[in-house]
Amino acid sequence: MPERSAPGGCKPLVTLASSNLIKISTLHVRPHCPVIVLDPFLYSKYYSMELLHPTYSPAAYTHESKKSLISQFVAWCEGQEKNRLFWVAIIIVSHGCFITPLTVLAVTLAGNSMWLWSFAIAAMTMSLVSNLAAMPTKVTLPIFFLSLLIDLGVLINCVAVWVA
């Protein structure tokens, strides 16, 4: 190891702990002459501490926030406000002409369960009321998709009754 002179013309004192020369810290025995301590054991402790507790500079670290699926869906629903009348027409026509009659037919063929009738009627009612109340698409679209899930559950139950 080549010797370097410290500030003030003093040569540093070097302590060797083993054949692996690793600089850990500089200790000042005299104010103008530093002592360099080289110890592989201390280096391994320092390295493991660095792994256990890494330090980050807030200026250098930028957090990329990811939107959840629900917040993306709500943002999409808010963006559909310009197509509100289109969605009102789609919801009323699809429920009134296709989804509810199909669900009621399936309930009738599966034995006319009062519980299934009430779920089918409630799904149609919640979509119809939210649209006739002129709610924003942020409200009507999630209600519509929830009513579709309810109708799908009723249809699955009816198919299970037919198979059994």
pLDDT band at residue 58, thresholds of 50, 70 and 90? low
End-to-end distance of the chain based on CA atoms, in angstroms?
A: 86
d(CA 151, CA 127): 12
The overall average pLDDT reported for the chain is: 78
Question: Are 157 and 116 in contact, with CB atoms under 8 Å apart?
Answer: yes
Helix, strand, coil % (nearest 5) of the chain?
Answer: 60, 10, 30
pLDDT over 70 (residue 7) = no
pLDDT on residue 49: 56
Whether 24 has a pLDDT exceeding 50, the answer reads: no
- What pTM did the predictor assign? 0.60
Judged by DSSP in three states, 56 sits in coil
Residue 57 confidence (pLDDT): 60
Q: Mean pLDDT, to the nearest integer, of 23-36?
A: 49
pLDDT at 29: 46
* Residue bearing the bigger pLDDT, 72 or 39: 72
Rg (CA), the chain: 36
- Min mean pLDDT across 20-29, 85-94, 114-123 is at 20-29
CA separation for the pair 133, 103 (Å, rounded): 24
User: 5 or 135: which carries more pLDDT confidence?
Assistant: 135
